[in-house]
A = this chain, B = another copy of it.
Amino acid sequence: MFDFIYYNPTRIEFGKGKEEKIGNYISEYGVSKVLIVYGSDRIKQNGLFDKVAQSLTGNGISYEALGGVHSNPLLSKVYEGIAMAKSKGVDAVLAVGGGSVLDSSKAIAAGAVYEGDVWDFFTYKAFPNQALKIFDIMTLAATGSEMNNFAVVTNDKTKEKFSLAGTATFPTVSVINPGLQASVNKEYLAYSASDIFAHSLDMYLTATYLPGFIAGHVENILKTVMRTTEILLTDATHYEARAEFAWAATQALNFTTFCGVAGNRFDTHFIEHTLSAEYNIAHGAGLSIIMPAWMKWQKNNLPERFEQFARNIFHVEGADTGIEALKAWYVKIGAPVTLKEGNISEKDIPMLVEKLLPVAAMRGAESIYTREMITTVLENAK
């Protein structure tokens, strides 16, 4: 194993009805006022907002609220949250929603204690090593945001979709009640499965060194996601499947899959972020389109790893057979696998290439994300 640091201080409160205790958890950390960040008004209609508010006030915690966060969350909304957090004097942010809400909340928490522009954290001009405390109640399992320090936000003006990560942007307490995630529709369940696959496979299929223990860990995540997705597509209220799906999602991006690994990259995420910033398609949908197309490009770089993937996940032999099996599984669960299915015209490919090249340059990754590489992957996705 290569040298590594593992550190993940987030406390997970997993289980039924735990959202009703959120005020108790937050009060343990001496917080007196929070900014609740959420998405649509659905949480007001289904009673979740009221439960949360009641738990907060019952524990002597006052709150402000900011709704309207969308998928592919926008920087403008983050600015709005920072202004509120500063003017109202909150000392923590409470995200109630999915990955987008939590991403926005992390950015707000970091921006609220920073004198400069929060976008500096996304362009690596500064690092968020201080932030308001972050708490969350996850209503969608996919992004792993509940147990990592990443936040992905889209700059509305430049359409850049970038990420931040700092020592202060780990959630302090994350509530995962799988029961709250039962209302996710089949389409989004498929996108979520695709997102978890991409977190896992971006690493698994690029790492130049992958310890056997970590390979086994990732394969266990993938097999759990496949098993539970198939159950949930026929029975959305299956609590056990929902719970294992949620926990696998958390594991896929809580750094346990990176321990001792070397040479890994985030290729499909890199390409997809520009796709969803341009077309506002769901992140998971963009990923299921890009993944098989990217795999066809990548397979010759690590042929044995692709064979291992085919064998251990789909019980088939050969890299190509493995890629086709994954593509077929995406089709089976209802995730798109072509640009066309994502309503993206193949005529846009040259424009997307021009958008991606400067991002590659900013990340210092021009030697990997070349014009030829990006073009090939997008052409493969036609």
**Which A residues have a C-beta under 8 Å from some C-beta of B?**
1-9, 11-16, 18, 178, 211-213, 216-217, 220-221, 223-224, 227, 240, 243-244, 247-248, 251, 256, 259-260
CA distance A14 to B211 in the complex (A): 14
> Which of chain B's residues have a CB closer than 8 A to the CB of A9?
9
CA distance A256 to B257 in the complex (A): 13
Ranked nearest first, the 6 interchain pairs of A and B with the lowest CB-CB distance are A3-B15, A216-B220, A1-B243, A7-B11, A6-B12, A213-B224
State whether B5 touches A244 (Cβ < 8 A): no
> Which of chain B's residues have a CB closer than 8 A to the CB of A178?
1
- Given that A14-B259, A15-B2, A260-B14 are known contacts, is A212 also in contact with B7, CB under 8 Å in the complex? no
30 contacts between A and B (CB under 8 A): A1-B14, A1-B15, A1-B243, A1-B244, A1-B247, A2-B15, A3-B14, A3-B15, A3-B16, A3-B18, A4-B12, A4-B14, A5-B13, A5-B14, A6-B12, A14-B260, A211-B240, A211-B243, A211-B247, A212-B227, A212-B244, A213-B220, A213-B244, A213-B248, A216-B220, A217-B217, A220-B220, A243-B260, A247-B259, A247-B260
**Extra A-B contacts (20), CB below 8 Å, given A3-B16, A212-B227, A213-B247:** A1-B178, A1-B243, A3-B15, A5-B12, A5-B14, A6-B14, A7-B12, A8-B8, A14-B259, A14-B260, A211-B243, A211-B247, A213-B221, A213-B244, A213-B251, A217-B217, A217-B220, A220-B220, A247-B259, A256-B256
- A17 nearest CB neighbor, chain B only: B3
CA distance A211 to B217 in the complex (A): 15
The smallest beta-carbon distance between A226 and chain B, in angstroms, is 11
The smallest beta-carbon distance between A137 and chain B, in angstroms, is 15
State whether B216 touches A224 (Cβ < 8 A): yes
> Which of chain B's residues have a CB closer than 8 A to the CB of A5?
11-14
- A6 nearest CB neighbor, chain B only: B12
Among B12, B221, B244, which residue has its beta carbon within 8 angstroms of that of A211?
B244
CA distance A216 to B221 in the complex (A): 9
CA distance A8 to B254 in the complex (A): 12
The smallest beta-carbon distance between A221 and chain B, in angstroms, is 8
CA distance A361 to B174 in the complex (A): 37
CA distance A274 to B158 in the complex (A): 67
CA distance A198 to B158 in the complex (A): 56
CA distance A373 to B10 in the complex (A): 40
CA distance A5 to B178 in the complex (A): 14
> Which of chain B's residues have a CB closer than 8 A to the CB of A11?
5-7
